[in-house]
């Protein structure tokens, strides 16, 4: 099992953990399986991470960071095309990106957005990643007193969008891509569109 083998970069452990989650889901993930995939002993693995939860925290942060960076890139491209110029509109694009992630990497999506993850989600660093786009939109409002209201509505919108994605994963064929995205747009219009006119104009440049 490579009892004396060492790992030069903990990113290798995170990479292997992500691969295991994508293959078998969070239900089948364990430190024993991870150690076996890395050809090391479980005791060696604990030289780098205190427990399973610490590994899952790193996985969540890595995946959410990458998702955020890719989504920001999509938002930038949309703005360049004259779309999603309003920070609130970015939340609709976020919901669409969640759907695409769920369809492309379903088991990883369920880990990130449909599992308790023990105490991982409550970790401040992880929690901050989940609220990133809502915070940005709320911070752009001219009337700061409405920021908390927007954050709550953004959470409601994201929960509805997430439910659609999870349903599409768990019950394939229950809703097609076009219908799902149409429902996302409808939810956006009902819940968040009203905030668009309340956003301060961006400074030139």
**Hey, how many other C-beta atoms are within 10 angstroms of the C-beta on 61?**
17
Rounded to two decimals, the pTM is 0.87
119-174: pLDDT as tens digits:
777 888 888 888 888 988 999 999 989 999 999 999 999 999 999 999 999 998 88
70-99: pLDDT as tens digits:
999 998 898 888 887 788 999 999 999 999
Domains, the chain, ordered by start: 1-49 (1.10.10), 60-198 (1.10.357)
**Hey, how many other C-beta atoms are within 10 angstroms of the C-beta on 12?**
12
pLDDT class of 204 with cuts at 50, 70, 90 = very low
- How much is the pLDDT for 201? 56
DSSP 122-153: TSHHHHHHHTHHHHHHHHTBSSGGGHHHHHHH
95 burial type by CB count under 10 A (0-12 exposed, 13-18 middle, 19+ buried): buried
Angle value at C-alpha 128, between 123 and 132, nearest 5 degrees: 160
**Hey, how many other C-beta atoms are within 10 angstroms of the C-beta on 120?**
22
pLDDT above 70 for 3: no
4-48: pLDDT as tens digits:
566 778 899 999 999 999 999 999 999 999 999 999 988 889 889
- Residue 6 · residue 44 · CB < 8 Å: yes
pLDDT above 50 for 194: yes
- How much is the pLDDT for 78? 87
Residue 43, SS3 per DSSP: helix
- How much is the pLDDT for 132? 86
For residue 191, give both structure tokens.
């819940």
- Residue 108 · residue 29 · CB < 8 Å: no
For residue 172, give both structure tokens.
């394939």
Kindly compute the dihedral angle of the four CA atoms of residues 127, 130, 135, 138, in this order, to the nearest 10 degrees. Answer: -130
């Amino acid at each position: 099992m490579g009892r004396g083998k060492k790992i030069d970069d903990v990113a290798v452990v995170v990479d292997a953990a992500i691969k295991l989650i994508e293959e078998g889901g969070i239900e089948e993930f364990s430190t024993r399986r991870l150690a076996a995939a890395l050809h090391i002993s479980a005791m060696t693995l604990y030289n780098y991470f205190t427990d399973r939860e610490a590994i899952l925290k790193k996985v969540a942060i890595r995946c959410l960071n990458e998702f955020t960076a890719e989504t920001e890139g999509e938002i930038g491209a949309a703005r360049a095309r004259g779309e999603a110029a309003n920070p609130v509109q970015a939340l609709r694009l976020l919901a669409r990106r969640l759907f695409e992630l769920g369809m492309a990497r379903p088991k990883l999506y369920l880990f990130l957005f449909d599992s308790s993850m023990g105490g991982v989600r409550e970790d401040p660093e992880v929690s901050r990643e989940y609220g990133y786009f809502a915070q940005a939109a709320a911070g752009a409002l001219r009337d700061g007193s409405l920021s908390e209201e927007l954050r709550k509505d953004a959470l409601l919108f994201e929960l509805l969008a997430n439910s659609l994605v999870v349903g599409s994963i768990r019950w394939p064929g229950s809703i097609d891509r076009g219908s799902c995205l149409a429902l996302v747009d409808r939810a956006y219009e009902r819940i968040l569109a009203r905030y668009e006119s309340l956003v301060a104009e961006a400074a030139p440049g």
